[in-house]
């Protein structure tokens, strides 16, 4: 059996303070759902830096190599053709397409990484906890132990920050 | 607690988070008014005219246009460059202003980016039709073929193919990633089951989880970082279409920066034209405030002045170079048979934006609207002047000629205007015109509430 508690705030500053208190008391926060990104929430929740920039870099590097390599191969190896007396291996004129494909590959890599890692996509069927979390509610879900020893402590912290609609839920595994 | 207003608020009317959602979603939930139906009837008619003329061109051939042996690029390429330029403001607002942390972009980035996409769609049509046989348009891509040839990677025209298609794709990704949370908002508000399902599909199952937001912020920033040099590269590459050919009036190194400044200049003019009407019709005056209009006008002065300096530099360099042909090209622009086009370009692009130095005029909506139309016209003529006056009298006087568009070319241009405005009218009915989540995130720092806790609903 898995137990958790959910509640919502109407102001992000209450949410930030409550999250900090809960983390200080070594409680596990399952998720925080908000209508817009809250600055300062990531370090409180202990999130590591997102690796999306790295993926973008790798994607871009692949695009760069493919684009430059292909142009050079086509014009130097596969079909060397004289164009206006220019050299076959004309680095400057390969740069624009190399740049464009670098950007294109990096963008696609990041968007796919974002969607796959977040399990988002057309037809993704994620549970919607409260229809107003995309409007003006800041929802928090805190894991509880099976014995129910933490219930009072969590409720107290949530109430102190004017949390509303505090609900304990149990799911059978 | 009273916080003294240091800067003009970006969101007025003492909004709460809930009010923001309600007001920005209203155009999607309500029924369109008579004005919208009148508008879309007009734009769809223009689009149909354009489609008919495109069909006629493809059926009969490019001979239906006013082009001749001397002037091979006329309205078609003028319109192409004009539309691509207009697109640039959207990316400038969403990418470059994001990197510079300009909060005022949050109210206008969504619609400006949508405008980018529609403008690039219109632009892309012209080279395709200009090929004469658009069904063979795929020849521009380097795919293994039975002709056993590759495309010419040394040609700026091919760079353009890659630049424009990458630009469109990356802008679309950037725009859609930004839309996902807001589509989630719309999904959660929809009452009808069918609409909820559609928006649910489009929202990619957005939940608003903190980890998703963290990734979303990270990807938005890096995509902006990529889109910023991309937008500069696109018009630079478009300018090399001209700059690498040995035609007096085209063969200049100033072209890339001059084209980029001109593109942002014309793009902001189009953003103003659209948003001054949109904010009024959709009752969004509290989000797109007069302060926003003023900020955009400031960018118009800056880029307009760069364009003015570029024109003067071109004239100076033509004289200073001592090259007879170059000197003649510029003299002919200003005093030759197309002097009127040059005059329109100079008046609209160099003189008229200078009026914006007056704060009263910068903050005057009617004046700004009229001025933005002037700039749109002026920037169209800039491209016309560059293309037609340079071509019509080149090295060999025996081949000098004149160019006049036919009804077919005019019809295709009107058709792309129709396409652009039809897309925009549909967009305002389907997606939130203002980035809801982004406006909420700047509400506390830039709203006009006296007490920052007033952002929540009263019970």
* Mean pLDDT to the nearest integer, B220-247: 91
Of A125, A145, A167, which is closest to residue B197 (Cα–Cα)? Answer: A125
User: pLDDT value at position A159?
Assistant: 82
User: pLDDT value at position B337?
Assistant: 93
Taking contacts as CB-CB distances below 8 angstroms, the residues of chain A near B227 are 103
Band (B168; pLDDT cuts 50, 70, 90):
very high
Q: What single string gives the DSSP state of each residue in B210-248?
A: HHHHHHHHHHHHHHHHHHHHHHHHHHHHHHHHHHTS--T
* Mean pLDDT to the nearest integer, A20-44: 86
Contact A42 B154 (CB under 8 A): no
User: pLDDT value at position B1?
Assistant: 57
Residue B451 has pLDDT above 90, yes or no: no
- A149, exposed or middle or buried, with CB in 10 Å at 0-12, 13-18, 19+? exposed
Residue B141: count of CB within 10 angstroms of its CB: 12
Instruction: Using a pLDDT cut of 90, give the percent of chain A over it.
Output: 28
What phi and psi values does residue B364 have, to the nearest 5 degrees?
Answer: -95, 115
Residue B433: count of CB within 10 angstroms of its CB: 25
Residue A93 has pLDDT above 80, yes or no: yes
How far apart CA A157 and CA A171 sit, in angstroms, is: 23
Taking contacts as CB-CB distances below 8 angstroms, the residues of chain B near A13 are 453
Which value does ipTM take for this structure?
0.91
Instruction: Using a pLDDT cut of 70, give the percent of chain B over it.
Output: 97
Mutate: best of A19, A86, A100, partner B, most B CBs <10 A: A100
pLDDT digits (tens, 9 = 90+) for B294-319: 999 999 999 999 999 999 999 999 99
pLDDT digits (tens, 9 = 90+) for B331-375: 999 998 999 999 999 999 999 999 999 999 999 999 999 999 999
* Mean pLDDT to the nearest integer, A51-65: 94
* Mean pLDDT to the nearest integer, B214-224: 91
Contact B205 A121 (CB under 8 A): yes
User: pLDDT value at position B124?
Assistant: 92
Of B98, B12, B83, which is closest to residue B415 (Cα–Cα)? Answer: B83
Of B49, B138, B431, B395, which is closest to residue B250 (Cα–Cα)? Answer: B395
How far apart CA B405 and CA B107 sit, in angstroms, is: 39
pLDDT digits (tens, 9 = 90+) for B90-107: 888 888 888 888 888 888
Least CB–CB distance from B226: residue in A97, A103, A123: A103
Contact A10 B21 (CB under 8 A): no
Q: Is the pTM of this model over 0.95?
A: no
- A8, exposed or middle or buried, with CB in 10 Å at 0-12, 13-18, 19+? buried
Residue A149 has pLDDT above 80, yes or no: no
Taking contacts as CB-CB distances below 8 angstroms, the residues of chain B near A122 are 201-202, 204
Contact B188 A37 (CB under 8 A): no
Between the ranges A133-142, B5-14, B39-48, where is the mean pLDDT highest?
B39-48
Taking contacts as CB-CB distances below 8 angstroms, the residues of chain A near B21 are 35, 134-136
């Amino acid at each position: 059996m898995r137990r958790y508690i959910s509640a919502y705030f109407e102001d992000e500053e209450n949410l930030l303070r409550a999250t900090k208190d809960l983390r200080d008391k070594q409680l596990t926060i399952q998720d925080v759902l908000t209508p817009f990104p809250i600055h300062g929430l990531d370090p409180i929740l202990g999130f590591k830096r997102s690796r999306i920039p790295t993926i973008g870099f790798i994607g871009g590097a692949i695009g760069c190599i493919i684009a430059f390599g292909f142009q050079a191969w086509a014009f130097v190896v596969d079909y060397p053709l004289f164009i206006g007396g220019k050299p076959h291996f004309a680095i400057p004129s390969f740069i624009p397409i190399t740049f464009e494909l670098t950007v294109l590959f990096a963008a696609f890599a990041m968007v796919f990484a974002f969607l796959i890692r977040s399990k988002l996509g057309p037809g993704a069927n994620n549970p919607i906890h409260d229809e107003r979390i995309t409007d003006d509610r800041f929802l928090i879900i805190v894991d509880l132990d099976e014995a129910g020893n933490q219930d009072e402590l969590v409720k107290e912290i949530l109430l102190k920050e004017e949390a509303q609609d505090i609900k304990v839920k149990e799911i059978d595994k | 607690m009273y916080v003294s207003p240091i800067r003009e608020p970006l969101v007025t009317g003492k909004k709460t988070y809930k009010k923001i959602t309600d007001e920005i979603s209203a155009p999607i939930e309500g029924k369109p008014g008579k004005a919208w139906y009148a508008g879309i009837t007009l734009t769809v008619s223009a689009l149909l005219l354009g489609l008919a003329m495109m069909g006629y061109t493809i059926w009969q051939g490019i001979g239906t246009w006013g082009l001749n042996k001397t002037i091979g690029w006329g309205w078609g390429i003028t319109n192409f460059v004009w539309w691509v330029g207009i697109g640039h403001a959207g990316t400038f607002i969403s990418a470059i202003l994001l990197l510079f942390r300009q909060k005022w972009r949050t109210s206008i980035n969504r619609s400006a980016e949508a405008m980018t996409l529609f403008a690039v769609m219109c632009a892309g049509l012209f080279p395709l039709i200009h090929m004469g046989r658009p069904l063979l348009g795929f020849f521009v891509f380097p795919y293994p073929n039975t002709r056993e040839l590759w495309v010419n990677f040394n040609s700026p025209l091919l760079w353009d193919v890659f630049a424009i298609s990458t630009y469109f794709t990356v802008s679309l990704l950037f725009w859609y990633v930004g839309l996902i949370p807001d589509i989630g908002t719309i999904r959660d508000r929809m009452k009808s089951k069918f609409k909820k399902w559609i928006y649910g599909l489009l929202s990619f199952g957005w939940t608003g989880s903190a980890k998703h937001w963290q990734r979303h912020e990270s990807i938005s920033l890096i995509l902006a970082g990529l889109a910023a040099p991309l937008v500069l590269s696109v018009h630079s590459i478009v300018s090399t279409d001209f700059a690498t050919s040995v035609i007096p009036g085209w063969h200049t190194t100033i072209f890339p920066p001059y084209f980029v400044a001109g593109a942002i200049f014309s793009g902001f003019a189009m953003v103003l034209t659209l948003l001054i009407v949109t904010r009024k019709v959709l009752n969004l005056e509290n989000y797109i405030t007069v302060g926003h209009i003023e900020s955009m006008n400031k960018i118009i002065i800056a880029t307009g002045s760069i364009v003015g300096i570029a024109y003067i530099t071109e004239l100076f360099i033509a004289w200073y170079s001592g090259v007879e042909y170059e000197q003649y090209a510029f003299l002919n622009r200003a005093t030759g048979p197309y002097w009127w086009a040059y005059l329109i370009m100079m008046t609209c692009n160099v003189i008229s934006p200078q009026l914006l130095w007056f704060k009263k005029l910068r903050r005057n909506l009617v004046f700004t609207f009229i001025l933005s139309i002037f700039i749109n016209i002026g920037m169209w003529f800039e491209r016309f002047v560059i293309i037609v006056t340079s071509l019509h009298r080149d090295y060999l006087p025996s081949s000098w000629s004149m160019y006049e568009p036919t009804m077919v070319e005019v019809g295709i241009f009107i058709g792309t205007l129709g396409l652009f405005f039809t897309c925009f009218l549909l967009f305002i009915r389907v997606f939130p015109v203002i980035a809801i989540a982004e406006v909420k995130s700047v509400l506390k720092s830039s709203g006009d509430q006296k007490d920052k806790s007033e952002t929540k609903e009263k019970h």
